[in-house]
Amino acid sequence: MRRFYSILCVIFFSLSLGSCSSVSAKANMEEIRGFLSSCGNMEIRAAVTADYGDRVFEYTLKYSGTSDSGVIEIISPDIVAGVRAHVSFDDGIKLEYDGVSLDTGKLYEDGLSPVDAIPVMLRQWTEGYVSDCSSEKYGDTDCTAATIAVSDEVTLRTWFDSASLLPVHSELAYNGFVVINCDFENISTQQ
């Protein structure tokens, strides 16, 4: 009987630790949301990989703006370097190169491109429904990992540095298949 109580105590203790980790991660996520919401303009540089199954594209992008609107500039590959996109959730996307502007329509209705990935992430980090949250390591970095339901088909998983509260890595998945990976290289914020 004594062994039964010992096993029961171990199980209870293990479950308590698990729930504490979850509560701590949720508190960290609320702190992350508050921090990102209070940021004015952000400048984000990210290595973005878009995997469409039969084609894989790699970009380096720089985003300057807020979660509502901003400008994305393609840094690499060289063949499209310098192309800029003005992004706004109200007005959609306008591509710009050498003074020529092309309106490409609404932001994220029927698909998700590398160009609109960062603004979609910014908005979801501050306003999206967090369906799962945990404390994890990404590489050597202690992180708060959050899964956000963007739509019925699209989910966003992001690892935020627990110390700086900034994103380290994000994955956008469509029907369970990761389509876009972002490794954040440099982020500066203005409060």
Residue range 31-53, pLDDT digits in tens: 999 888 888 888 999 999 988 88
pLDDT, residue 66, reads: 83
Complete DSSP assignment for 143-191: EEEEEEE-SSSEEEEEEEETTT--EEEEEEEETTEEEEEEEEEEEEE--
Given the structure tokens 């995997």, which residue do they identify? 51
Terminal-residue alpha carbon distance, the chain: 59
Whose CA is closest to 115, among 50, 28, 184, 39?
Answer: 50
The two structure tokens encoding residue 54: 């039969």
- Look at residue 166 and tell me whether its pLDDT is greater than 50: yes
pLDDT digits (tens, 9 = 90+) for 80-135: 888 888 877 776 666 555 554 443 344 344 456 777 788 889 889 988 999 999 99
CB proximity list for 89: less than 8 A, separation 6 or greater: 68, 69, 107, 119, 123
Report the predicted TM-score, pTM, of the whole model to 2 decimal places. 0.79
Among candidate residues 48, 68, 69, 71, the one with its CA nearest the CA of residue 171 = 48
Confidence of residue 189 (pLDDT cuts 50, 70, 90): confident
**Among 51, 62, 39, which residue's Cα sits nearest to residue 189?**
39
Domain 2-58+116-189 classification at class level: mainly beta
The domains of the chain are located at 2-58+116-189
